[in-house]
Chains A and B, each alone.
Chain A
Amino acid sequence: MASSSSSMDRVSWRAQVLTRHLQQPSSSHSSVAPVLESSVCLQYAPPELSEKFDFDVREMRQLMDGHNIEDRDWLFGLMIQSKLFCPRNSGGKVFVSPDYNQSMEQQREMTMKRIAYLLDRGVFEGWLTEKGAEAELRKFAFFEVIGIFDHSLAVKLGVHFFLWGGAIQFFGTKRHHDKWLKDTESYVIKGCFAMTELGHGSNVRGIETITTYDTSTGEFVINTPCESAQKYWIGGAANHATYTIVFSQLHINGKSEGVHAFITQIRDANGNICPNIRIADCGHKIGLNGVDNGRIWFDNVRIPRENLLNSVADVSQDGQYLSAIKDPDQRFAAFLSPLTSGRVTIALSSIYSTKISLAIAIRYSLTRRAFSVSPNGPEILLLDYPSHQRRLLPLLAKTYAMSFAANYLKAVYVKRTPAANKTIHILSSAYKATFTWHDMKTLQECREACGGQGLKTENRIGQLKSENDVKSTFEGDNNVLMQQVSKALLSEYIAAKKKKKPFKGLGLEHMNDSCPVIPAQLSSSVLRSSKFQVDIFCLRERDLLNRLASQVAERQAQGESREYAFLMSYQLAEDLARAFSERAILQNFLESEASLSVGSLKNVLGLLRSMYAMVSLEEDASFLRYGYMSTENDAAVRKEVMKLCSELRSHALSLVSSFGIPDAFLSPIAFNWIESNSWSSVHN
């Protein structure tokens, strides 16, 4: 604390500053050329005037977005040019974003109108009918851009194309593809996806909806046997969807064959709910109100036998159950594995959400000043405060790291082979959880970093918090997913030990090498070397996996089941899943870095990678808890974080400019916030 006399000095000095501000407004209110007169009033200066650009922003954007740059810009332009996307003028610039002040019903109708517009402009062409990595990447690019505008719009499309359409593609066979895919792509029908029930979410195998087969008519009969079996959160069901995929237990001749998927019509073309279907609204939500989530009950709903999506199992005309996969566990796994696309897209969109909020908060922090360090001195830019740098720049580095990891995940996904299914499943689970948590943390920090301005819906960040919150639980609860990651790693471990074979895949090959040795003294250059960073991340993963395996084995030796033993080891499992994710992200980052030739771009990426590694070391208590680092080393890491903050400070603007998000998709405080809040703007 300052002494009382110096704090009094400060008070009187603040008063002087305020007085000067208050004495000035006469000139800015007079009609004589207000824009010409310089005054001591605060002026907005675009950060571009003072910040330097050490590397080519276009090149960095190409690296980050990775593909379909021109297509992305086309779609951004399509949205900016249509009134449907609510263009608003503020501070001499146009901004687009949904009107969140509309009622839930209005927001839902706007979502559908926007879909119709994009459909009309050909955005969805080939989303389901074109095959190959190129078409898939273009679809991802468009989906990312749409998510930058509004999460509701993305989710509504995601349900229709990726869940409904994806289920037909992956669970269905040719007869389903021929009948449904084209009509889905052109919105002749509107699909939804009824998996979750009131009583069962992540545990899909436990759902209670029951389907039987009626041999006499050749039809399936679907029923909701109890209230907990009502389908819940079904996006599109409350207002618009005409068809749904129903997930249900299949009972054949009194025997349960497990969960299967069926196509069922729920509305006619005019939007009237079909007989034997009951639908209710899930109501207003904390966000995502542009999506009409609903609840569905089935009362002896009859559907033709052909509506079973039969890629894994079928029922013959005479009621025999047929499946090539005899083991119900494997059958279920084969069934759900294609659903990873949802997790992939959520992971990708979370990164773009962090990009929006960081671009806004960092641009604001480069134009907004607060307090001076010397009496009568100029006020200081927010981002020139080391503490403000510490709040935002590590998050920026993480977004860069995760952006490269997301690109890797996307590349693996579009080139997928059946052999890669396990990797995709585990990686998409780990990244979906890690990225969405990073997103929520970043949004909160950016919201606070913008102060009161962060509260305004027009400034996006605050609203994004509620729009994106759902990402941490839908398509797999993050905590459940992370436990699954550790469980899968444990299985790998047990299998490798049992078969006495080396580890292969999931980046676990380092387990085959001797244990890395961490230098006792960590100098700055050691801390910034990729060798050290990889070593210590691998050491943590390796040790945690060993610990988890031995703890589970110990408990099993005491007579506990493997499941129970794992469940009781959740703390280690949590640490391990984090260690796995962070090590994988670091490696993805290094691979992207390695693809670049020496130059300014590579240099700044080196700083970002080191920052990513350092904050990970700083934030995860595991390193101290299990003794991978001494407390002295921890202090060295903290010091390095500070140093990296000050080095990254000068690149902050170019780093957020490289995100490739057009100004119109940011917000007024990212630009001339004085003009956008001026009295003259009140009347416009």
Chain B
Amino acid sequence: MADNSISGKTDQILVEEHSYVRTLILNRPRQLNALSLQMVSHLLELFTIYEEDRNVKLLILKGEGRAFCAGGDVAAVVKDTTDGHWRLGARFFWIEYTLNYIMATYNKPQVSILNGIIFGGGAGASIHGRFRIATENSVFSMPETALGLFPDVGASYFLSRLPGFFGEYIGLTGARLDGAEMLACGLATHFVPAMKLSLLEEALFKVNTSDPAVVSTIIDKISEHPPLKAKCAYHRLDAINRCFSKRTVEEILSALEKEAANGADNWLSETIQSLKKASPTSLKISLRSIREGRLQSVGQCLVREYRMCCHVLRKDVSKDFFEGCRAILLDKDRNPKWEPLRLDLVSDDMVNLYFTKVEDEEWEDLKLPARPSLLAASSMAKL
């Protein structure tokens, strides 16, 4: 694909046409549909074309195989950055975030069928859309802090808008949610059992309008309200609100430890463990990002996340992202050596730097496309 890799077609995205409906299939099953540069570029191109195409009223997004999408292909990004220049890696995120923004402000409903894992970038490619269908196979997670990164792809927007401080909880710990829990907290708009998915798609193929109310009615007919499993974290929302509302990561941890002192249980110790295993720098910038995101528009969130991301790629403060990828994705020893190693060694100044402009003459802030449809779009995404 050489020069045209950004705009060229790839069989990593398959397109099916059914009258007014286009089904886009993430087709990289061996990599659990992890988003490559080609995929995000192709998706961006398709979304842009379909927005103008009056014969397209509805988009369906799903994954081939047992995953919806395992996230951005960060191993490739790390390779690009290590072999070449950080700007190569930054280009991937520029396109991915632009795609996230287009989805968040799209004027036609996007129905994402989340029948499998939805990690990181996979969430970015679906949660911003109007309808998110969970199934009994759904497994959601934002695992970035364990990787030395931070929940990006507009996660500071959608996580911060979940009930109470649930967003901080899943954003910092990378906790996994099942389909029922996704529905309960609002990450999913519907739950449809996997065996009824073909029925759902058949019904959606008949749609000839972009009216979300009509689409909603169709999905409502097939969807179910599964009970929450007894051990799911959403039952712990009170404790989550008590602890994850605290001002700093240190205070969150000590609040959790205080709860554990009053009666330890599996959930508490797992939560504390995952925070202790995560990159301290990641935890601090992630918390700050979610807190800022709560008060910002989705566009502002993505611009800020792009800044943060470029600082990560440039190793301006910490190399944790590269160390995390080495330990989790490449060497797979699952034993990253974070630096700084402890929360108290990550100073406010270090955290602040992630939120500043990058000092490089050629660098620029993420330039989001003008969205004439922004008017209607604010109500399309229902977070």
Report Cα–Cα, A36/B107, bound state, in Å. 7
Task: Check A662 against B295 for contact (C-beta < 8 Å).
Answer: yes
B147 to chain A, nearest CB (A): 25
A32 contacts partner chain B, Cβ-Cβ < 8 Å: yes
Task: Check B378 against A73 for contact (C-beta < 8 Å).
Answer: no
Which chain A residues (88-121) contact chain B, with CB distance < 8 Å? Answer: 91-94, 120-121
Contact with A along B308-324 (1 / 0, CB 8 A): 00000000000000000
- Residue from B57, B210, B246, B291 in contact with A73 in the complex, judged by beta carbons closer than 8 Å: B291
B109 to chain A, nearest CB (A): 10
Task: Check B247 against A35 for contact (C-beta < 8 Å).
Answer: no
- Residue from B294, B297, B373, B374 in contact with A77 in the complex, judged by beta carbons closer than 8 Å: B294
B56 to chain A, nearest CB (A): 11
Which chain A residues (262-313) contact chain B, with CB distance < 8 Å? Answer: none
Report Cα–Cα, A672/B378, bound state, in Å. 9
* Residues of B with C-beta under 8 A to A80: 294-295
Q: Interface residues of B: mostly helix, strand, loop or mixed?
A: loop
> Taking CB as reference atom, which chain B residue is nearest A33?
B210
Report Cα–Cα, A77/B375, bound state, in Å. 25
B242 contacts partner chain A, Cβ-Cβ < 8 Å: yes
* Residues of A with C-beta under 8 A to B163: 81
Q: Pick out which of these stretches binds chain B: A44-52, A240-248, A349-357.
A: A44-52
Task: Check A31 against B378 for contact (C-beta < 8 Å).
Answer: no
Contact with B along A51-89 (1 / 0, CB 8 A): 000000000000000000011011011101110000000
Question: Given contacts A34-B211, A93-B378, A672-B378, are A74 and B247 in contact (CB under 8 A)?
Answer: yes
Task: Check B295 against A663 for contact (C-beta < 8 Å).
Answer: yes
- Number of A interface residues in the complex (CB < 8 A): 35
B160 contacts partner chain A, Cβ-Cβ < 8 Å: yes
Interface extent on B, as a size class?
20 to 34
Question: Given contacts A49-B370, A120-B242, are A76 and B378 in contact (CB under 8 A)?
Answer: no
Task: Check B379 against A33 for contact (C-beta < 8 Å).
Answer: no
Question: Given contacts A77-B160, A120-B242, are A675 and B375 in contact (CB under 8 A)?
Answer: yes
* Residues of A with C-beta under 8 A to B165: 81
B341 contacts partner chain A, Cβ-Cβ < 8 Å: no
Contact with A along B359-372 (1 / 0, CB 8 A): 00000000000100
Task: Check A675 against B379 for contact (C-beta < 8 Å).
Answer: yes
A599 contacts partner chain B, Cβ-Cβ < 8 Å: no
Task: Check B245 against A33 for contact (C-beta < 8 Å).
Answer: no
* Residues of A with C-beta under 8 A to B210: 33, 35-36
Task: Check A92 against B107 for contact (C-beta < 8 Å).
Answer: no
Report Cα–Cα, A43/B376, bound state, in Å. 10
* Residues of A with C-beta under 8 A to B380: 35
Report Cα–Cα, A73/B355, bound state, in Å. 15
- Residue from B57, B246, B292, B375 in contact with A45 in the complex, judged by beta carbons closer than 8 Å: B375
* Residues of B with C-beta under 8 A to A31: 209, 211, 214
A684 to chain B, nearest CB (A): 10
Report Cα–Cα, A395/B294, bound state, in Å. 30
* Residues of B with C-beta under 8 A to A674: 375
A122 contacts partner chain B, Cβ-Cβ < 8 Å: yes
* Residues of A with C-beta under 8 A to B294: 73, 76-77, 80-81, 662
Task: Check B295 against A76 for contact (C-beta < 8 Å).
Answer: yes
Task: Check B295 against A70 for contact (C-beta < 8 Å).
Answer: no
Task: Check B288 against A70 for contact (C-beta < 8 Å).
Answer: yes
Task: Check A43 against B295 for contact (C-beta < 8 Å).
Answer: no
> Taking CB as reference atom, which chain B residue is nearest A674?
B375
Task: Check A35 against B214 for contact (C-beta < 8 Å).
Answer: no
> Taking CB as reference atom, which chain B residue is nearest A660?
B295
Report Cα–Cα, A81/B242, bound state, in Å. 12
* Residues of B with C-beta under 8 A to A34: 211
A664 contacts partner chain B, Cβ-Cβ < 8 Å: yes
* Residues of B with C-beta under 8 A to A76: 294-295
* Residues of B with C-beta under 8 A to A120: 242
Report Cα–Cα, A675/B379, bound state, in Å. 9
* Residues of B with C-beta under 8 A to A680: 213
Report Cα–Cα, A519/B373, bound state, in Å. 55
B354 to chain A, nearest CB (A): 13
B164 contacts partner chain A, Cβ-Cβ < 8 Å: yes
Task: Check A82 against B370 for contact (C-beta < 8 Å).
Answer: no
> Taking CB as reference atom, which chain B residue is nearest A662?
B295
B247 to chain A, nearest CB (A): 5
Report Cα–Cα, A36/B214, bound state, in Å. 15
Question: Given contacts A73-B291, A81-B165, are A49 and B247 in contact (CB under 8 A)?
Answer: no
> Taking CB as reference atom, which chain A residue is nearest B357?
A56
B372 to chain A, nearest CB (A): 8
* Residues of A with C-beta under 8 A to B379: 91-92, 675
Task: Check A43 against B375 for contact (C-beta < 8 Å).
Answer: yes
Task: Check B291 against A70 for contact (C-beta < 8 Å).
Answer: yes
Question: Given contacts A49-B370, A70-B288, A91-B378, are A122 and B247 in contact (CB under 8 A)?
Answer: yes
* Residues of A with C-beta under 8 A to B376: 35-36, 675
* Residues of A with C-beta under 8 A to B297: 663
| Other A-B pairs beyond A32-B209, A35-B373, 9, CB < 8 Å | A35-B210, A43-B375, A44-B375, A46-B375, A73-B294, A91-B379, A120-B242, A122-B247, A663-B297
State the B residues within 8 Å of A (CB): 57, 107-108, 160-161, 163-165, 209-211, 213-214, 241-242, 245-247, 251, 288, 291-292, 294-295, 297, 370, 373-376, 378-380
Q: Which 7 pairs show the lowest CB-CB distances between chains A and B?
A: A92-B378, A35-B376, A662-B295, A92-B379, A33-B210, A77-B294, A121-B245
24 sampled A-B residue pairs with Cβ under 8 A: A31-B211, A32-B211, A35-B210, A35-B380, A36-B210, A36-B376, A70-B291, A73-B292, A74-B291, A76-B294, A76-B295, A77-B160, A80-B295, A81-B164, A81-B165, A81-B245, A121-B245, A121-B246, A122-B251, A662-B295, A663-B297, A675-B375, A675-B376, A675-B379
